[in-house]
Structure 1
Amino acid sequence: MNFDVKQKVRDYYGGIASQVKSTSSSGCGCNASCCGDVSNSSLIYNSEQLKNLPKEAVAASLGCADPVIFADIKEGETVLDLGSGGGIDVLVASRYVGATGKVYGLDMTDEMLELANQNKTKMGATNVEFIKGFIEEIPLNNEAVDCILSNCVINLSEDKERALTEAHRVLKAGGRLAIADIVNLTDVPDHVRKSAELWAGCIAGTLKVGEYKEILEKVGFTNVEIEPVHVYTKSVIESLANQKDTNLADILAQTDIEILDGAFAGAYIKAYK
C-alpha cells in the first residue's frame, strides 16, 4: 500500500465528525457511514437503545451491527469500546453498567473525541470516560476491563493481531470480547483490497472468517464465535459507492459488481479470555 492507513482513517472519520457537528442544527439524522445501508441506526439498534440518546451520537453512528446486544453487560462492570467514534455504543453500554460501573471509549481522532464528549455531557453520563489512543496501544493497565466492545473498527487497523493482542491484555481473566466487524466471505480483486478509500470505508482491510478466528485464538482467546448477520449485497455496495467520493465509484467501475455481491458481511464476533 502506498498510503498511511492511520492517517487516511483519521482524516476520513475526523471529517465525518465535523460534518455531524456542522449539520446537527439542521436536524439531519442521516449516517455518512463506512457501512452503507446496513449502518442505518434504526436497523442496527432497537428503539429502546436509541431512546434519549443525543441526536449527534446517533448521526455519527458508523457501525455494521450492534455489539451491545450480545455482550451480556452487567451492572458494576468496566467496559471498553475500541474506536468509540461519536460515542453511541459507550452511551448505550453506560445504562447497563449503572452508577457503580464504568465505560471507556477509546478513539484516535480528535474531532470524534470532541463530539463524543459533547454527547456525554448532553446525556449527563457520569460513568463514561473518553480517552485518546490507538487500538494497537491501549492506554489501560493489564486486566482492567470486564468486557470489550468494538463496532466496525478492528478491520480499520493495519495490524489486527497487535490490536487483538492488546484487547486480550486489558481484559480480566474470564472477560469477554463482543465486537461487530466486517468480514470477507469470498475472494475479491487485489486492487479492491489495496484501495485507500475502501480501507477507510471498512472493506479493504477485512479478514475472512477463518483468518479472523485464527488470529483471535493465536493471541489467546477461546470459545470464538463469528456469525455473519448483515450480508453486503450488490445494492448495498452500489449505495456505498454513492455515499462516497468519485474515487470510490471509479474503483468499483473497474470491478465486476457481481464479484462483490455477497463478498462482505457485518458479523457478530464473540470470544473469551
Structure 2
Amino acid sequence: MADDLRERVRERYAGLAVAAGGGNEGSCCGSSCGCGSGEDVAVRVSDLSGKSYSEAEREELPVLAAEASLGCGNPVALADLSPGEVVLDLGSGGGIDVLLSARRVAPGGKAYGLDMTDEMLELARANQAEAGVGNAEFLKGEIETVPLPDGYVDVVISNCVVNLSTDKPRVIAEAFRVLKPGGRFAVSDVVFLGDKGHLPEEVLETVGLWTGCVVGALEKGEYEGLLAEAGFEDVSVEVVNVYEPETIEGLDTDEKRAAFREVPAASAFVRARKPAEAG
C-alpha cells in the first residue's frame, strides 16, 4: 500500500509539473488538486495556502515558479533565514521556496531542493535558470532518504509535503540527521485537530485524499510527539487556518463531512530545533 501511494503521489505531481509548465496554476491542496480521472478521487481544499506569499516575494520569481507553488504556507518566512546558512527544502516541487531561500542566504549560503519527481525537478531547474539564482541545487530523491551528509544544513523547510509521506517518523529522523547542532526545522504542513481514528475507513483508504494532502496529515499531538522522540527541542505546532469540510472536494456525503467537522484539518507552522552540542 505504501509503495502504491508513493507512486500515485509521484504520478500526480508529475502531472501538476507538466500543467504548470504549460501555464496552468496548480496546488498541492489548492484549486487544482482534482487532476485525477477514473477511479481517482479529486480532492481540493479551496485556497489552502491562504495567499501565503507576498506580492514582493512573487515578483522575485519567474511567473511559472510562482504559479507552481504547491504548498499550504510560507516556510521561508517561518524559517528566519540569514546570509551564509545552508537550507534544505523537502519536496521542493517547482522550486519557489528554494529560490526564495537562496536569495535570503546569499552571500555565502546555499539552498537545496529535494524532490522525487523528474518533471518537478525539470521545472524547478528551468525556474532557477530564468531567475538567475546560482546558489541553489535541486537533488533527486525521497524525503525518507535524504542524499546529504550528517550535520550538513542549518535549516530544514518543507511546504505541505511531510503529510504525503507514508513513513513520517523516518522523514523527521532524516531531517534531524542532516541538521547541524542547533539547526532549525521550519515546516508548513497540514494537521488534524483531533483523533483520526474517528474518520471513516473508506476516507482513510482513499488514495485521492492522500494525494490531495488531507488524509495523510498527522494529528497535532502526533506531530509534536514524533519531533520530540526524534530528539528535537523547542517543538511547537501553531495552527494557522482551520478548514471547513465544505471546502474539500471528495467529502461528498453528510457522513464524511460530519466526520471532518468532528476532526477538522488545519494548516500549521511546525517549528523545532536540534539541540546544540554540549559545551
Q: TM exceeds 0.5? A: yes
1:254 deviates by 7.3
Distance of aligned partners of 1:193 and 1:256 in 2 relative to their CA distance in 1, 3 Å threshold: closer
Counterpart residue type for residue 210 of structure 1: G
- Of the three residues 200, 210, 213, the one matched with 1:199 is 210
Paired-residue identity, %: 45
The offset of 1:2, in angstroms, is: 8.0
Aligned match of 1:37 in 46, 53, 77? 46
TM-score by length of 1: 0.89
SS of the aligned residue for 2:145 comes to coil
Which residue of the partner structure matches residue 232 of structure 1?
243
Partner of 1:112: 120
Identify the range of structure 1 (258-267 vs 9-18) with the bigger mean alpha-carbon deviation: 258-267
- Does the CA-based 8 Å contact 1:39-1:62 persist in structure 2? no
Q: Conserved in 2, the CA contact under 8 Å of 1:108 and 1:133?
A: yes
2:129 partner amino acid: T
Q: 1:90 to 1:145 in 2, by over 3 A?
A: same
2:46 aligned counterpart, secondary structure: helix
Q: Is the 8 A contact 2:191 2:219 kept in 1?
A: yes
Amino acid at match of 1:4: D
TM-fit CA distance, 1:252? 3.3
Residue 57 of structure 2 aligns with an amino acid whose one-letter code is: Q
The TM-score, its normalising length taken from structure 2, stands at: 0.87
Q: 2:39 matched to which residue of 1?
A: none
Quote the Cα distance in structure 2 between the aligned partners of 1:253 and 1:228: 26
For 2:271, the equivalent position in structure 1 comes to: 270
Question: Is the contact between residue 19 and residue 26 of structure 2 (CA under 8 Å) also seen in structure 1?
Answer: no
Alignment partner for residue 127 of structure 1, among 135, 142, 161? 135
Which residue pairs with 2:35 in the alignment?
none
Secondary structure of 1:106's counterpart equals strand
Deviation, structure 1 residue 91? 0.9
**Which residue of the partner structure matches residue 253 of structure 1?**
253
Q: What is the rounded CA distance, in whole Å, between the counterparts of 2:14 and 2:96 in structure 1?
A: 16
Equivalences, count: 256
Equivalence map 1:212-231=2 (5 Å): 212-231=223-242
1:19-71 C-alpha deviation (Å, 9 max, x unpaired)? 1112x2xxx5x334324223457x11111211131111111111111111121
Q: Which moved more, 1:173-182 or 1:189-198?
A: 189-198
The 3-state SS of whatever aligns with 2:108 is coil
Instruction: Please state whether the residue corresponding to 1:38 is helix, strand or coil.
Output: coil
Distance 2:75 2:150 in 1: 23
Q: Secondary structure at the match of 1:265?
A: strand
Unaligned 5+ residue runs, structure 1? Answer: 242-248
CA distance in 1, matches of 2:71, 2:217: 14
SS in 2 for 1:44: coil
Q: Any conservation in 2 of the 1:175–1:272 contact (CA below 8 Å)? A: yes
Q: Which moved more, 1:45-54 or 1:194-203?
A: 45-54
2:14 equivalent to 1:9: no
Aligned residues: CA RMSD: 1.7
What amino acid sits opposite 2:219 in the alignment? K
**Other structure's SS at 2:47 match:** helix
Q: Which runs of 5+ in 2 are unaligned?
A: 31-44, 275-279
* Greater alpha carbon shift after TM alignment, 156-165 vs 63-72: 63-72
Q: Show structure 1 runs of 4+ deviating over 4 A.
A: none
2:138 match: secondary structure: strand
Task: Report the secondary structure of 1:256's partner residue.
Answer: helix
Residue 4 of structure 1: SS of its match in structure 2? Answer: helix
Amino acid at match of 1:211: E
User: What are the residue-to-residue correspondences of 1:120-159 with 2, within 5 Å?
Assistant: 120-159=128-167
The aligned residue for residue 245 of structure 1 is none
Q: Distance in 2 between matches of 1:229 and 1:70?
A: 12
Amino acid at match of 2:26: N
